[in-house]
Amino acid sequence: MARLGDRVMLARAELVAEASDGRLTLPVLRSDPPILLRPTGDTVHLVGGSAGPLGGDRLRLDVTVRRDACLRLRSAAASVVLPGPTASSLHLAITIEPGGHLDWRPEPAVSVAGGSHEQVVDVKLHGDATMDWTETVVLGRSGEPSGDWSSLMRVVRNGAVAIHQQLRVGPGHLGSDGPAVMDGRRVSAARLIVGPSTRPDCVSVSDTGAWTRVGLANDIEQTQVVSDSVADIAAFLDIGCTQAT
C-alpha cells in the first residue's frame, strides 16, 4: 500500500498475465496509488492516481507474463516528472515466460525544469519469450528548460545479458545536449524488439531529427530517435527510415 512520509510517496503495484483458453486473464492485478492498473480486453492501461511522479517518490511495478500469454501495456496520458526534495524513481521488474509476449508502449514522460528522475527497467526473458518495448521522453514543457532524466535498461535472456544500456539527459548531465546524444533536440525515443523481425538496418538524418535502426542479433532490433516532435517520432517507430547503405 502506498504511504506518504517526509513528503515522498512509496508505491508498489503488481500485474500477472496468463493465457486461459485463448483469452488473457489477470490472476494478479494489484494497484498502488499513484500506479493504477485498468484492464480493457487484452490491454492494461497505467492510469496516474495523482500528479507526478514528484521528486522523492519511489515507485515500483512488477509485471509477469506467463507461458503463452500476450499482454499489451499502455498509459492513459503522458506522465510529468515534477520537482521535489530529491530525485524520483521508478523500478520496472518484468518477467516473461516461454511463449509469452509483452507489448509496452506508454505515452511519453515529460521531464520539467527542476525535476530529476531515475528509471530502472529489469527484464528477464525465458525460452522463446518476446517483447516490443518503447520508451519516449520529452525534455521540458513547450518553451521551458528540462529536468534531468536517467533511464537504465537491462535485458537478460535465459541467464545471459542481451541488453544493458543507459540514457542520461538534461542540464545535470554534461554533454547530453551534444551531437552524440540529443543533438539539441527535445524528444528522445527508443524501441527494442526481441523476436522475429525482417526490417533492415537503416539511418536517416533530416532538419527535424535523426533516426537509426540496428539489428543487434538475429532476433533483437533496436531503434533510436531524436526529434523535436513527438508525432514525428511515433510515425518513425512504426514506419521506419531510409535503408542504410
pTM of the model as a whole: 0.90
At residue 243, the pLDDT reads 43
Residue-wise pLDDT tens digits, 160-216: 999 999 999 988 888 888 887 887 888 999 999 999 876 778 888 878 788 888 888
Residue 184: φ, ψ to 5°: 80, 5
Residue 113: φ, ψ to 5°: -55, 130
At residue 51, the pLDDT reads 64
At residue 57, the pLDDT reads 92
Which residues 6+ apart lie within 8 Å of 139 measured at CB? 111, 146, 149, 169, 170, 182, 186, 187, 188
At residue 198, the pLDDT reads 66
Lowest model confidence (mean pLDDT) among 21-30, 57-66, 112-121, 233-242: 233-242
For β-strands 116-125 and 23-30, DSSP reports them as unpaired
Residue-wise pLDDT tens digits, 88-147: 999 999 999 999 999 999 999 999 989 899 999 999 999 999 999 999 999 988 777 889
Instruction: Give 237 or 213, the one with higher predicted confidence.
Output: 213
HSE, CB side, 13 Å, CA atoms: give it for residue 29: 17
Binned at pLDDT 50, 70 and 90, residue 6 comes out as: low
pLDDT reading at 150 higher than 80? yes
Average pLDDT for 215-230 = 87
Q: Are 76 and 54 in contact (CB under 8 A)?
A: no
Q: Where are the domains of the chain?
A: 3-239
**Count of beta carbons in the 10 Å neighbourhood of residue 52:** 20
Residue with cell 487484452: 42
Residue-wise pLDDT tens digits, 47-86: 976 666 888 899 999 999 999 999 999 998 888 988 888 8
Q: How large a percentage of the chain has pLDDT more than 90?
A: 53
pLDDT reading at 1 higher than 70? no
HSE, CB side, 13 Å, CA atoms: give it for residue 72: 9
CA dihedral 95, 87, 46, 65 (to 10 degrees): 0
At residue 185, the pLDDT reads 86
Average pLDDT for 37-54 = 85
Q: How far apart are CA 101 and CA 11, in angstroms?
A: 26
